[in-house]
Amino acid sequence: MAIQAVLFDLDGTLLETVPDLAAAVNAMLREMGRPEISQKQVGVYVGKGAESLVRRALSGAMDGQVDADLFRQAMALWNQHYELLNGYKAHCFDGVREGLDMLQNAGFKLAVVTNKPERYTLPLLKRTELLPYFEVVVGGDTCARKKPDPMPIEFACQQLGVNPDEALMIGDSVNDALSAQAAGVSCWLLPYGYNEGNDIHSTPCDAYVQTIEEAANLLLTEQGTTA
């Protein structure tokens, strides 16, 4: 079945967002009298949404077990800071605009499926001038469950009016691959993002590509030049 729609992960795939996420995490930790953590560590904690990031940063562990009151306090502080910092340093990875232009010009339907909450996703896409590319934007709180659950990818396909076998997910993490596979959608992975500290090549997928531009070239070659 020919691919008609391409779904993109956001953090670590389209945009380098860790500098802003880390600035908000460290502002929160400072206000709580705790030591700051490195940007690299924040990159490891990104992937399962904002609440998971705050839990992991507070606990210093991937399972993010924290006292409920402490978590509420931290989340409120993090939201306060990220509201102001979101998009301040965020920028597209190399090849993103080139690849999106190619896919849009070839007539593919494009969507974002991210675990980032909607309230941060839409302003970020506007600030980085990416929003006009996308017919559908699914945030981490748009559906009842986030990636790696298939629900957000299934929802994006429904909204775009395509079957799962007519869609391709492009992401940077195991959460993208598991979500896509469970939804019956093909998945290509990129090596430059945030895969919770793991090498992306340990995650099975349909293809590994270096950039979104390379992904667009590959898709256009596989299908001819029109969607």
Ligand X SMILES: O=C(O)COP(=O)(O)O
**Residue 113: strand pairing partners:** 138
User: Using CB under 6 A as the criterion, what x/- string covers residues 1-20 for binding ligand X?
Assistant: --------xxxx--------
**Residue 91: strand pairing partners:** 16
**DSSP H helices in 60-167:** 68-85, 96-105, 118-127, 151-160
Question: What's the distance, CA 66 to chain centroid?
Answer: 24
Least separation in angstroms between CB 114 and ligand X: 3
Residue 172 annotated as binding? Answer: yes
- Tell me how far CA of residue 55 lies from CA of 35, 79, 209, in angstroms: 15, 13, 31
- Active-site residue 20, yes or no? no
Whole-number Å distance between alpha carbons of 34 and 47:
23
Whole-number Å distance between alpha carbons of 137 and 86:
17
Q: How many residues belong to the site for ligand X (CB under 6 A)?
A: 15
Residue 101 annotated as binding? Answer: no
The token pair at 47 is 């992937």
The catalytic position among 9, 63, 67, 149 is 9
Residues 100-119 that bind ligand X (CB under 6 A): 114-116
Give every CB contact of residue 162 below 8 A, 6+ residues apart in sequence: 4, 5, 109
Question: Which residue among 5, 16, 25, 49 contacts ligand X (CB under 6 A)?
Answer: 49
Identify which range of 48-56, 92-100, 122-130, 211-219 contacts ligand X by CB under 6 A. Answer: 48-56
Question: Which residue among 20, 27, 48, 99 contacts ligand X (CB under 6 A)?
Answer: 48
Least separation in angstroms between CB 223 and ligand X: 26
Identify which range of 31-39, 42-50, 91-99, 201-209 contacts ligand X by CB under 6 A. Answer: 42-50
Task: Give the pairing of strands 91-92 and 15-16.
Answer: antiparallel
Residues 155-194 that bind ligand X (CB under 6 A): none
**Residue 7: strand pairing partners:** 111, 169
Using CB under 6 A, list all residues that contact ligand X. 9-12, 46-50, 53, 114-116, 140, 147
- Binding residue numbers for Mg(2+): 9, 11, 172
- Binding residue numbers: 9, 11, 172
Residues designated catalytic: 9
